[in-house]
Amino acid sequence: MSKTIIAPSILSANFAQMGSEIRRMEEAGADWIHCDVMDGIFVPNITFGPKMIKDIRKTTMLTLDVHLMITEPIRYIPQFAEAGADFITIQVESTDKVEETLKEIKNRGCKCGAVISPDTPVETLRKYLHMCDLALVMSVHPGFGGQKFIESSVDKIIELKKLRDELNPNCIIEIDGGITEDNVCLVKQAGAEAIVAGSAIFGSADPAKTVAKMKL
Protein backbone atom coordinates (compact mmCIF):
# COMPACT_ATOMS: atom_id res chain seq x y z
CA MET A 1 0.00 0.00 0.00
CA SER A 2 1.17 3.48 -0.80
CA LYS A 3 0.08 5.18 2.40
CA THR A 4 -1.00 4.54 5.94
CA ILE A 5 -4.74 4.64 6.57
CA ILE A 6 -5.76 6.47 9.74
CA ALA A 7 -9.12 5.46 11.20
CA PRO A 8 -10.15 7.42 14.31
CA SER A 9 -12.40 5.36 16.58
CA ILE A 10 -15.62 7.13 17.48
CA LEU A 11 -15.69 5.26 20.77
CA SER A 12 -13.56 8.18 21.97
CA ALA A 13 -15.79 10.86 20.45
CA ASN A 14 -18.33 13.03 22.25
CA PHE A 15 -21.54 11.25 21.26
CA ALA A 16 -23.58 14.37 21.99
CA GLN A 17 -21.63 16.16 19.24
CA MET A 18 -21.13 13.29 16.80
CA GLY A 19 -21.68 15.30 13.62
CA SER A 20 -19.10 17.92 14.56
CA GLU A 21 -16.74 15.24 15.88
CA ILE A 22 -16.81 13.49 12.49
CA ARG A 23 -16.17 16.81 10.72
CA ARG A 24 -13.28 17.44 13.09
CA MET A 25 -11.75 14.13 12.03
CA GLU A 26 -12.25 14.95 8.36
CA GLU A 27 -10.50 18.27 8.84
CA ALA A 28 -7.69 16.51 10.68
CA GLY A 29 -7.00 14.35 7.63
CA ALA A 30 -8.53 11.04 8.72
CA ASP A 31 -9.09 8.44 5.99
CA TRP A 32 -11.70 6.22 7.62
CA ILE A 33 -14.02 6.37 10.60
CA HIS A 34 -13.86 3.28 12.82
CA CYS A 35 -17.15 2.34 14.49
CA ASP A 36 -17.11 -0.19 17.34
CA VAL A 37 -20.45 -1.94 17.79
CA MET A 38 -20.74 -3.78 21.13
CA ASP A 39 -23.69 -5.76 22.45
CA GLY A 40 -22.92 -6.26 26.15
CA ILE A 41 -22.74 -10.03 25.58
CA PHE A 42 -19.66 -10.76 23.48
CA VAL A 43 -17.97 -7.88 25.31
CA PRO A 44 -18.99 -6.29 28.63
CA ASN A 45 -19.97 -2.97 27.11
CA ILE A 46 -22.80 -1.60 24.97
CA THR A 47 -22.26 1.12 22.38
CA PHE A 48 -24.71 1.63 19.50
CA GLY A 49 -26.46 -0.03 16.58
CA PRO A 50 -27.23 0.51 12.90
CA LYS A 51 -28.96 3.88 13.41
CA MET A 52 -25.69 5.47 14.53
CA ILE A 53 -24.02 4.21 11.35
CA LYS A 54 -26.92 5.50 9.26
CA ASP A 55 -26.73 8.94 10.86
CA ILE A 56 -22.93 9.12 10.52
CA ARG A 57 -23.23 8.09 6.87
CA LYS A 58 -25.34 11.19 6.24
CA THR A 59 -22.57 13.44 7.58
CA THR A 60 -19.47 12.12 5.80
CA MET A 61 -18.08 10.54 2.65
CA LEU A 62 -15.23 8.95 4.59
CA THR A 63 -15.02 5.16 4.60
CA LEU A 64 -17.02 3.70 7.49
CA ASP A 65 -15.13 0.80 9.06
CA VAL A 66 -17.72 -1.00 11.20
CA HIS A 67 -16.30 -3.49 13.71
CA LEU A 68 -18.93 -5.83 15.12
CA MET A 69 -18.12 -7.08 18.61
CA ILE A 70 -21.40 -8.92 18.96
CA THR A 71 -22.57 -12.51 19.24
CA GLU A 72 -23.75 -14.20 16.03
CA PRO A 73 -23.13 -11.10 13.90
CA ILE A 74 -24.75 -12.66 10.81
CA ARG A 75 -28.12 -11.62 12.28
CA TYR A 76 -27.35 -7.94 11.79
CA ILE A 77 -25.30 -7.79 8.59
CA PRO A 78 -28.27 -6.60 6.46
CA GLN A 79 -29.01 -3.72 8.82
CA PHE A 80 -25.42 -2.47 8.99
CA ALA A 81 -24.95 -2.81 5.25
CA GLU A 82 -28.16 -0.89 4.60
CA ALA A 83 -27.09 1.77 7.11
CA GLY A 84 -24.07 2.58 4.96
CA ALA A 85 -21.09 0.60 6.25
CA ASP A 86 -18.22 0.26 3.77
CA PHE A 87 -16.28 -2.38 5.71
CA ILE A 88 -17.92 -4.78 8.15
CA THR A 89 -15.53 -6.79 10.30
CA ILE A 90 -16.41 -9.59 12.68
CA GLN A 91 -14.65 -11.22 15.62
CA VAL A 92 -13.79 -14.83 14.71
CA GLU A 93 -14.48 -15.76 18.35
CA SER A 94 -18.06 -14.46 18.20
CA THR A 95 -19.60 -17.11 15.96
CA ASP A 96 -19.20 -20.60 14.54
CA LYS A 97 -20.40 -19.23 11.18
CA VAL A 98 -17.40 -17.06 10.30
CA GLU A 99 -17.21 -18.06 6.63
CA GLU A 100 -20.97 -17.79 6.18
CA THR A 101 -20.98 -14.36 7.80
CA LEU A 102 -18.12 -13.07 5.64
CA LYS A 103 -20.01 -14.26 2.55
CA GLU A 104 -23.14 -12.50 3.74
CA ILE A 105 -21.20 -9.25 4.15
CA LYS A 106 -19.93 -9.55 0.57
CA ASN A 107 -23.39 -10.43 -0.71
CA ARG A 108 -24.71 -7.23 0.87
CA GLY A 109 -22.21 -5.15 -1.10
CA CYS A 110 -19.72 -4.39 1.67
CA LYS A 111 -16.08 -5.26 2.11
CA CYS A 112 -15.49 -7.86 4.80
CA GLY A 113 -12.91 -8.51 7.46
CA ALA A 114 -11.97 -10.93 10.22
CA VAL A 115 -10.76 -9.80 13.64
CA ILE A 116 -8.75 -11.64 16.29
CA SER A 117 -8.58 -10.79 19.98
CA PRO A 118 -5.23 -10.76 21.85
CA ASP A 119 -5.55 -14.38 23.01
CA THR A 120 -6.45 -15.75 19.56
CA PRO A 121 -3.59 -17.13 17.42
CA VAL A 122 -2.95 -15.53 14.03
CA GLU A 123 -3.11 -18.98 12.46
CA THR A 124 -6.86 -18.94 13.15
CA LEU A 125 -7.19 -16.53 10.23
CA ARG A 126 -5.64 -18.91 7.71
CA LYS A 127 -8.96 -20.47 6.66
CA TYR A 128 -10.65 -17.08 6.17
CA LEU A 129 -7.96 -14.77 4.83
CA HIS A 130 -8.61 -15.54 1.17
CA MET A 131 -12.10 -14.05 1.60
CA CYS A 132 -11.09 -10.94 3.50
CA ASP A 133 -10.56 -7.37 2.38
CA LEU A 134 -9.31 -6.57 5.89
CA ALA A 135 -7.69 -8.49 8.74
CA LEU A 136 -7.65 -6.79 12.15
CA VAL A 137 -5.43 -7.58 15.11
CA MET A 138 -6.76 -6.31 18.43
CA SER A 139 -3.88 -4.95 20.50
CA VAL A 140 -6.10 -4.57 23.58
CA HIS A 141 -8.89 -6.78 24.88
CA PRO A 142 -12.11 -5.77 23.09
CA GLY A 143 -14.77 -3.95 25.02
CA PHE A 144 -13.45 -0.59 26.19
CA GLY A 145 -11.34 2.28 24.87
CA GLY A 146 -8.30 3.73 26.59
CA GLN A 147 -6.49 0.46 27.33
CA LYS A 148 -2.72 -0.01 27.24
CA PHE A 149 -1.16 -1.44 24.09
CA ILE A 150 -0.24 -5.14 24.33
CA GLU A 151 3.38 -5.38 23.15
CA SER A 152 3.08 -8.93 21.79
CA SER A 153 0.73 -7.55 19.15
CA VAL A 154 3.78 -6.46 17.15
CA ASP A 155 4.79 -10.10 16.67
CA LYS A 156 1.24 -10.96 15.66
CA ILE A 157 1.29 -8.28 12.98
CA ILE A 158 4.57 -9.66 11.62
CA GLU A 159 3.08 -13.15 11.54
CA LEU A 160 -0.11 -11.91 9.92
CA LYS A 161 1.81 -10.05 7.22
CA LYS A 162 3.60 -13.27 6.22
CA LEU A 163 0.29 -15.12 6.08
CA ARG A 164 -1.41 -12.30 4.19
CA ASP A 165 1.41 -12.09 1.62
CA GLU A 166 1.09 -15.83 1.08
CA LEU A 167 -2.69 -16.10 0.83
CA ASN A 168 -4.19 -12.73 -0.13
CA PRO A 169 -1.79 -9.83 -0.86
CA ASN A 170 -4.70 -7.42 -1.36
CA CYS A 171 -6.01 -7.85 2.19
CA ILE A 172 -5.38 -4.77 4.35
CA ILE A 173 -3.76 -5.36 7.75
CA GLU A 174 -5.32 -3.23 10.50
CA ILE A 175 -4.48 -2.81 14.17
CA ASP A 176 -6.69 -1.46 16.92
CA GLY A 177 -6.01 -0.76 20.58
CA GLY A 178 -3.74 1.55 22.52
CA ILE A 179 -2.13 3.07 19.43
CA THR A 180 -0.37 6.39 20.04
CA GLU A 181 2.22 8.60 18.37
CA ASP A 182 4.83 6.74 20.43
CA ASN A 183 4.13 3.22 19.18
CA VAL A 184 2.56 3.74 15.75
CA CYS A 185 5.90 3.46 13.94
CA LEU A 186 6.51 0.09 15.59
CA VAL A 187 3.27 -1.42 14.30
CA LYS A 188 3.68 0.14 10.87
CA GLN A 189 7.16 -1.33 10.55
CA ALA A 190 5.70 -4.71 11.52
CA GLY A 191 3.23 -4.48 8.64
CA ALA A 192 0.11 -2.63 9.85
CA GLU A 193 -1.42 -0.56 7.07
CA ALA A 194 -4.60 0.75 8.69
CA ILE A 195 -4.31 2.30 12.14
CA VAL A 196 -7.26 2.63 14.49
CA ALA A 197 -6.73 5.18 17.24
CA GLY A 198 -9.27 6.64 19.62
CA SER A 199 -8.18 8.81 22.51
CA ALA A 200 -4.81 9.56 20.86
CA ILE A 201 -6.63 11.47 18.10
CA PHE A 202 -9.92 12.62 19.63
CA GLY A 203 -8.12 13.68 22.80
CA SER A 204 -5.27 15.42 21.01
CA ALA A 205 -4.84 19.17 21.35
CA ASP A 206 -4.06 19.18 17.62
CA PRO A 207 -5.71 16.20 15.88
CA ALA A 208 -4.38 17.22 12.46
CA LYS A 209 -0.82 17.14 13.76
CA THR A 210 -1.41 13.76 15.41
CA VAL A 211 -2.90 12.27 12.24
CA ALA A 212 -0.03 13.66 10.17
CA LYS A 213 2.53 12.11 12.51
CA MET A 214 0.77 8.76 12.40
CA LYS A 215 0.81 8.82 8.61
CA LEU A 216 4.54 9.51 8.34
Which residues are part of the catalytic machinery? Answer: 36, 176
**Selection from 27, 1, 35 nearest residue 204 by Cα:** 27
- Pairing outcome for strands 5-8 and 194-197: parallel
Q: Please, what's the b/e burial string for 62-75 (b: 16 or more CB within 10 A of its CB; e: otherwise)?
A: bbbbbbbbbebbbe
The DSSP output letter for 119 is T
- Pairing outcome for strands 87-91 and 194-197: unpaired
3-state secondary structure of 94: helix
Helix (H), strand (E), coil (C) string for 144-213: CCCCCCCCCHHHHHHHHHHHHHHHCCCCEEEEECCCCCCCHHHHHHHCCCEEEECHHHHCCCCHHHHHHH
Helix (H) / strand (E) containing 16: none
Contacts of 51 (CB under 8 A, 6+ apart): 83
